[in-house]
């Protein structure tokens, strides 16, 4: 039995508004996940528990407190993956409290990898998830303010409107050396209805294999183009986690991909890096908690 348990979480790679609320949400999430790992629980249970806490913490852009799309609706994306290559995801799901748990159900209860839209909601209801309105006053206010600034050529300039990345993610390694990743997002502010970001796309926002796991946050279209999470895990197969993070972020920067990445390799080494203004993160390793 391996003893090297660890968990890391991020709260998005945008600016650090409300740092205290961010820090306390992240601390609570990793502590809950770590407790599961300490008691011999699985990395999958640990990242789901951490992600649920973050989805329920309104400051983050995931679950309750997700950003609104252009027409004022909340459409959420989420995914989970394990180092055994199991994967499950939901795209543009509405009216559920914890998209991450629906993603896990897709992974465990179906033969599919990704369910989207109305039918993802129907699946969630079929699996017993009730109605929940994830809209908050705070995010509605941001939406109103930003929408007022929209110009007619907005569609080609969405990058200029989206400096507030607040997706959440968690990566854990359990006593058996299994790695799991969870990523959940309300997408980017003012996106077109129906837009799916990097979060539920395997290899883009989330990836894990026997070498480790990674979760990305930032400009989803660019993260998808450059398969940032897969790239980080692939580098972790060849070099220490810190160096793998540096290589990935250098690559992202070279191609104008604004993002942040967290990860753990199979030894429990931490990867935590970003090329955006800031990124909120927190991890527990060897029983010690560190945060941004
Ligand atoms: N990556 C997310 C998306 O583009 C946004 C974020 O990280 O907050 O959907």
Distances (CA, A) of 198 to 48, 77, 202: 19, 8, 8
For residue 1, report the distance from its CA to the centre of ligand 1, in Å: 36
Helix (H, G, I), strand (E, B) or coil at 22: helix
Q: What is the pLDDT of residue 283?
A: 98
* pLDDT tens track for 73-89: 999 999 999 999 999 99
Phi, psi of 165 (to 5 degrees): -75, 125
The CB density around residue 111, as the number of other CB atoms within 10 Å, is 5
Average the pLDDT over 234-254 and give the result.
98
Task: Specify the pLDDT at position 106.
Answer: 98
Tokens of 250: 């250098």
Range 11-25 average pLDDT: 89
Res 41 pLDDT > 60: yes
CATH code of the domain containing 44: 3.60.20.30
For the full predicted model, state whether its pTM sits above 0.85: yes
Catalogue the active-site residues: 167
> Average pLDDT of the chain?
94
Atom of ligand 1 nearest to the CA of 186: 9
pLDDT given for residue 290 in this prediction: 97
Q: How many domains does the chain have?
A: 1
**Residues of each annotated binding site:** 195-198, 217-220
pLDDT at 17: 82
Residue 14 CA, closest ligand 1 atom number: 8
Give the sheet arrangement for strand 270-274, strand by strand. 206-209, 212-218, 259-265, 270-274
Q: Is the pLDDT of residue 157 over 70?
A: no
pLDDT in tens, 114-131: 999 999 999 999 999 999
Q: Which domain holds residue 110?
A: 2-291
Ligand 1 binding pocket (C-beta < 6 A) is 12, 61, 165-167, 185, 187-188, 197-199, 217-220, 223
- How far does the centroid of ligand 1 lie from the alpha carbon of residue 251, in Å? 18
The mean pLDDT of 223-229, rounded to a whole number, is 98
d(CA 124, CA 192): 23
Segment 106-120 shows an average pLDDT of 98
Phi-psi region of 18 (alpha: psi -120 to 50; beta: other; left: phi over 0): left
Q: Are 57 and 87 in contact, with CB atoms under 8 Å apart?
A: no
In the block, residue with structure tokens 């629980």: 41
How many Å lie between the centroid of ligand 1 and the Cα of residue 9? 15
Q: Please say whether the beta carbons of 173 and 5 come within 8 A.
A: yes
What is the per-residue pLDDT for 134? Answer: 97
Q: pLDDT-derived band of residue 164, with 50, 70 and 90 as boundaries? A: low
Residue 77 β-bridge partners: 185
């Amino acid at each position: 039995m391996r003893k090297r348990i660890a968990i890391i979480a991020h709260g998005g790679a945008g600016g650090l508004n409300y740092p205290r609320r961010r820090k306390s949400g992240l601390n609570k999430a990793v502590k809950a996940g770590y407790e599961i790992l300490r008691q011999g629980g699985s990395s999958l249970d640990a990242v789901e528990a951490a992600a649920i806490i973050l989805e329920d913490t309104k400051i983050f852009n995931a679950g309750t407190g997700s950003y609104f799309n252009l027409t004022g609706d909340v459409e959420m994306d989420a995914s989970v993956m394990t180092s055994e290559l199991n994967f499950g995801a939901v795209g543009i799901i509405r009216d559920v409290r914890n998209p991450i748990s629906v993603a896990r159900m897709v992974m465990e209860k179906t033969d599919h990898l990704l369910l989207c839209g109305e039918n993802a909601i129907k699946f969630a209801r079929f699996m017993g998830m009730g109605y929940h309105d994830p809209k908050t006053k705070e995010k509605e206010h941001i939406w109103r303010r930003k929408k007022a600034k929209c110009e007619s050529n907005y569609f080609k300039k969405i990058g200029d409107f989206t400096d507030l990345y607040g997706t959440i993610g968690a990566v854990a390694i359990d006593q058996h050396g299994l790695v799991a990743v969870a990523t959940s997002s309300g997408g980017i502010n003012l996106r077109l209805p129906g837009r799916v970001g990097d979060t539920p796309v395997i290899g883009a926002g989330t990836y894990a294999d026997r070498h480790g796991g990674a979760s990305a946050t930032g400009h989803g279209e660019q993260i998808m183009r450059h398969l940032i999470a897969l790239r980080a895990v692939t580098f972790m197969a060849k070099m220490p986690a810190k160096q793998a993070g540096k290589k990935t972020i250098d690559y992202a920067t070279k191609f104008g991909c604004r993002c942040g990445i967290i990860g753990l390799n199979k030894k429990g080494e931490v990867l935590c890096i970003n090329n955006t203004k800031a990124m909120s993160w927190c991890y527990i390793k060897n029983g010690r908690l560190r945060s941004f």
